[in-house]
Structure 1
Amino acid sequence: MAELTVRWHGSMAEIPEAQWHALTATAGLPFYSWTWLVALERSGSVAPRQGWQPCHVTLWRGETLIAAAPLYLKGHSYGEFVFDQSFAELAAQLGQRYYPKLLGMSPLSPVLGYRFFSAAGEDPLEITQLLLQQIDRFCQEQRIFSCNFLYVDPQWQPLAEAAGCATWINQQSLWSNQNYRTFEDYLGSFNANQRRNIKRERKAVQNAGLTVTPLLGADLSDALLARMHHFYAQHCSRWGAWGSKYLTEAFFTEEASALRDHLVLFSAHRGEPTQPVAMSLCVRSEEQLWGRYWGSDEEIDNLHFEVCYYAPIEWAIAQGLRSFDPGAGGSHKRRRGFVARPHASLHRWYHAPFEAILRRWLPEANAQQHQQIEAVNAELPFNASLPALGDSAA
């Protein structure tokens, strides 16, 4: 049997596409496809000058790729949506340099599912231990303060925990399809007051003369994708320095066409759907939908809710999708069909005093987070099955 070897890569393009696809395809996550990750790098959205240095690690048996971990050296904490700035402050108080840090996630996408990907027939626990050993060695040799895996796959989490990773719980939103056949079925899960509110919000968009049409596949012309960049950039600019404008124009105009099979645009229009006044971009798999970006040329009451929540939910029901993750942030999501769910990030620190402090703090912090999630979900104006941390169906 060929000896195992480890390789580090400064670009996803260094890894053969077919071999990467063989590892990741069964996960059903577009955000970890070779095409998606390469598009981020080629477009300059993920690059050293943006504070994201690709640093992927792979495990080979001969010339066959048997395991991989997408990783990045980060010079800041932006684009992660797991806010560890207090960790950076603590490191400074201890006289330590927090950045750069090593990070495992799909860049700029708070999407549950990070793991070490391995080939069929390989032992996931053994793979996890082997790659963590290599990561530890790399971080210690390069004097990297920490390694952090965000939005981890609940099925992979216990393997990494068994290998010594510390767990930090945060929360995000999720809509789950409770076997709805129509949007009216979905509305029926709400109490009467919120059901009226949602109908009024949708009616306001109709009264503005707008129709919302989902566009996908062959309907996604280069011009329409470029138009989506306009909306994205315009929306980010409204928030000034806090606008989180991470994707470059080239991602939309040069790279996104290769991702058409996974994109859905929801166009709000008065004439043709290809002439939108507002639009949102979602990403889909065979079973899930993720909300990502939106923007509008007009200020219209409740248009954001329609284009980013209601129209995607209605489409997801029609397609038989089982869940819709609307993206990070936004307590307003709770009243519109989304429950709070826990998600875990896993951490390894290479400074003993810092690690001791954090490991003492985490149990109480995690317990408080679970209590907060329970309290939020206790006030939901609709009936829902509440996902647990280990619920891989989410």
Structure 2
Amino acid sequence: MASLTARWHRSIHEIPQSQWERLLADEESPFYRWNWLAALESSGSVAPDQGWQPLHLSLWRDEDRLIAVAPLYLKGHSYGEFIFDQSFARLAGDLGLRYYPKLIGMSPVSPVQGYRFHVHPDEDGQELTAMMLRLIDDFAARNNILSCNFLYVDPEWQRLAEAAGCAGWVNHQSLWSADDQRDFSDYLAGFNANQRRNIKRERKAVSKAGLQVTPLTGQTLTPELLARMHSFYEQHCARWGPWGSKYLQASFFDQLVDPDLARHVVLFSAHRGDPAQPVAMSLCVQDDSHLWGRYWGSDEEIDCLHFEVCYYAPIEWALHQGLKSFDPGAGGSHKRRRGFVAQPRTSLHRWYDQRMDGLIRSWLPRANALMEDEIEAINAELPFREQPPELMV
């Protein structure tokens, strides 16, 4: 290991795109691709003045060959993470400790599962994970940082990080899975009769308003449409005032016309005529297997339009494309009634004060058990069709 060099980077642009991409598998989430993270930085959406200081850790062999990278950010707040750590912040205050800044590993403002250290397939992932965690620990000690937190982690990488001393905290998110569904009729058939009627009524309310929804991909994604999507996003965030969670700048949406980014973007346009003249629109992100719901907005208050543009139309499109799952985004108990099942999501943590570390680690087993009970209770209330009892023969 003597030939390895570790470097800290204040921008992803300090790491060549070709070297970064060489570490990622073909099926890697779009949210961890170099161009996605670079667009967040270059647009000013992720920047020190927004409370997100990029601080990526890299390992190089023979000075010039990247073999591992940890996407990291130094955070001055907890916004845009969707893992609510206020109880940790309060505990730090009670102990007389400074909670911020903290180190975060995630794709900024995107609560999507898949965080990991990206390691070249020819290298020892377990060994390099442990080494990089030690480097992070040393950096935190030198800079008086209280914690390092990896959110929405890849379950495979979780095993390596926990073996190296990270503590796991379980939360949950909603996920729709296609399973053996082939079309929207199959999707509807999974619900009980009452919920099937509700979904049909909600979709009919949109059509009665004279609207249809068209998915837009590829070359149909014009700069004008993406600027319109930013306007919807900005407008929707403004409705919630200080709780609006407006994180993305207009120039981020402008960059989505780049072919490398556009191939992952799907816009669902609700319109009365030309799909390029939407009344409402949602933005989703896709790869070859999965769909993620991100943002939406509307010029008109139309009954059930949100459900159509953000849930039903994307599910119908995902089924048509043969995708395996749809993650609709954070929050919203209304997602459950539309077939989104609660799934456990683990974040991993390292605390650098012995008192705080001991208190939280002693609390986590009970907290995680309660969360597992909550997930089971949530899913027991989903309006799915009851399966007939198995007969004993």
TM-score normalised by structure 2 residue count: 0.96
* CA distance in structure 2 between the partners assigned to 1:255 and 1:56 by the alignment: 23
User: Aligned residue for 2:188?
Assistant: 187
* CA distance in structure 2 between the partners assigned to 1:182 and 1:85 by the alignment: 42
User: Aligned residue for 1:211?
Assistant: 212
Residues 118 and 272 from structure 1, CA distance in 2 versus in 1: closer, same or farther, beyond 3 angstroms?
Answer: same
Q: Which range is displaced more, 192-201 or 115-124?
A: 115-124
Distance apart, 1:122 and its partner CA: 1.1
User: Aligned residue for 2:164?
Assistant: 163
Residues 17 and 193 from structure 1, CA distance in 2 versus in 1: closer, same or farther, beyond 3 angstroms?
Answer: same
1:56-107 per-residue CA deviation (whole Å, 9 max, x = no partner) reads 0001111111100000000000000000011111101110000000000000
- Does the 8 Å contact 2:216/2:268 carry over to 1? yes
User: Aligned residue for 1:54?
Assistant: 54
Q: The residue matched to 2:155 in structure 1 has which SS? A: coil
* CA distance in structure 1 between the partners assigned to 2:47 and 2:327 by the alignment: 26
Alignment of 1:295-310 (within 5 A): 295-310=297-312
Distance apart, 1:338 and its partner CA: 0.3
* Mapped pair 1:19 → 2:19: yes
- Does the 8 Å contact 1:2/1:61 carry over to 2? no
* CA distance in structure 1 between the partners assigned to 2:131 and 2:256 by the alignment: 34
User: Aligned residue for 1:313?
Assistant: 315
* CA distance in structure 2 between the partners assigned to 1:27 and 1:324 by the alignment: 16
Alignment of 1:71-220 (within 5 A): 71-220=72-221
Distance apart, 1:250 and its partner CA: 1.1
Partner amino acid, structure 1, of 2:248: L
Distance apart, 1:269 and its partner CA: 0.1
User: Aligned residue for 1:342?
Assistant: 344
- Does the 8 Å contact 1:47/1:54 carry over to 2? yes
* CA distance in structure 1 between the partners assigned to 2:25 and 2:249 by the alignment: 26
User: Aligned residue for 1:38?
Assistant: 38
Partner amino acid, structure 2, of 1:357: L
Distance apart, 1:24 and its partner CA: 1.7
Distance apart, 1:253 and its partner CA: 2.2
Distance apart, 1:384 and its partner CA: 10
In the TM superposition, structure 1's runs of 4+ consecutive aligned residues that sit over 6 Å from their partners are none
* CA distance in structure 1 between the partners assigned to 2:87 and 2:315 by the alignment: 36
Structure 2 spans left out of the alignment, 5+ residues? 388-393
- Does the 8 Å contact 2:57/2:71 carry over to 1? yes
Partner amino acid, structure 1, of 2:67: I
Structure 1 spans left out of the alignment, 5+ residues? 386-394
* CA distance in structure 2 between the partners assigned to 1:24 and 1:104 by the alignment: 16
User: Aligned residue for 1:391?
Assistant: none
CA RMSD of aligned residues (A): 1.3
Alignment of 1:222-237 (within 5 A): 222-237=223-238
Calculate percent identity across the aligned residue pairs: 68
* CA distance in structure 1 between the partners assigned to 2:11 and 2:168 by the alignment: 28
Distance apart, 1:256 and its partner CA: 5.0
- Does the 8 Å contact 2:167/2:350 carry over to 1? yes
* CA distance in structure 1 between the partners assigned to 2:149 and 2:16 by the alignment: 25
Partner amino acid, structure 2, of 1:368: L
* CA distance in structure 2 between the partners assigned to 1:179 and 1:29 by the alignment: 23
* CA distance in structure 1 between the partners assigned to 2:99 and 2:44 by the alignment: 24
Q: 1:325 aligns with which of 324, 327, 341?
A: 327
- Does the 8 Å contact 1:152/1:346 carry over to 2? yes
Partner amino acid, structure 1, of 2:104: L
Q: The residue matched to 2:100 in structure 1 has which SS? A: coil
- Does the 8 Å contact 1:139/1:146 carry over to 2? yes
Partner amino acid, structure 1, of 2:3: E
Alignment of 1:346-361 (within 5 A): 346-361=348-363
1:26-54 per-residue CA deviation (whole Å, 9 max, x = no partner) reads 34200000000000000000000000000
User: Aligned residue for 1:392?
Assistant: none
Q: The residue matched to 2:263 in structure 1 has which SS? A: helix
* CA distance in structure 1 between the partners assigned to 2:218 and 2:385 by the alignment: 34
Partner amino acid, structure 1, of 2:361: R
Q: Which range is displaced more, 18-27 or 72-81?
A: 18-27
Q: 1:289 aligns with which of 288, 291, 294?
A: 291
* Mapped pair 1:275 → 2:277: yes
Q: The residue matched to 2:273 in structure 1 has which SS? A: coil
* CA distance in structure 2 between the partners assigned to 1:230 and 1:384 by the alignment: 43
Q: 2:265 aligns with which of 263, 275, 283?
A: 263
* CA distance in structure 1 between the partners assigned to 2:92 and 2:28 by the alignment: 37
Distance apart, 1:178 and its partner CA: 1.6
- Does the 8 Å contact 1:12/1:56 carry over to 2? yes
Q: Which range is displaced more, 200-209 or 254-263?
A: 254-263
Q: The residue matched to 2:156 in structure 1 has which SS? A: coil
Q: 1:373 aligns with which of 364, 372, 375?
A: 375
Number of aligned residue pairs: 385
Distance apart, 1:249 and its partner CA: 1.0
Q: The residue matched to 1:276 in structure 2 has which SS? A: coil
* CA distance in structure 1 between the partners assigned to 2:345 and 2:283 by the alignment: 23
